[in-house]
Amino acid sequence: MNNKMLQKLVETTSLEYFKQPFKHKAYFNSRLRTTGGRYVLSTHHIEINPKQFSRFGKEALINIIKHELCHYHLHLSGKGYQHKDHDFKMLSNKVQAPRFCQPIQSYEERANYIYQCCKCKTTYLRIRKVNTDKMRCGKCGSKLKLKMYL
């Protein structure tokens, strides 16, 4: 799927689920890493993570588009467009737009550090490095040591 096909898909999804036209640009942004898509407030464009389509297919892509279109239509109509707003929650439920997309990588795949308790030998996976002077084992309260950097 290319940007032209994505634009057409967003326009048809907007008309089908929201009964309103999508008048701005939709395109793939390969720099997105932790999110499935993004509605840009300043330009009203929608950016989509291409990895979501390649990994999960068209159905997942449509769900992301519906979520971003909720932000789009509510923002343009002057209503609450943020996740915390009542208007956003109501519209999301109405069009069955999911709150989150499926993660591309699991936590285990993203983990960079393995810590181990010095006493009970419990291991902990972490994406970011932690301060072993402050962090303790959740089971026994003993010190942690860095076992491996992945």
Specify whether 68 is catalytic.
yes
Q: What is the pLDDT along the chain (150 residues), one digit of tens a residue?
A: 899 999 999 999 999 999 999 999 999 999 988 889 999 999 999 999 999 898 888 999 999 999 999 999 999 999 999 999 999 999 999 999 988 777 777 778 788 999 999 999 999 999 999 999 999 999 999 999 998 887
- The residues, ordered by sequence, that sit 6+ positions from 89 with a Cβ below 8 Å of its Cβ are 83
Tell me whether residue 71 is annotated as binding: yes
What's the pLDDT at 34? 80
pTM for the complete prediction?
A: 0.74
Residue 67 annotated as binding site: yes
CB atoms within 10 A of CB 118: 12
Q: Which two tokens stand for residue 52?
A: 């979501």
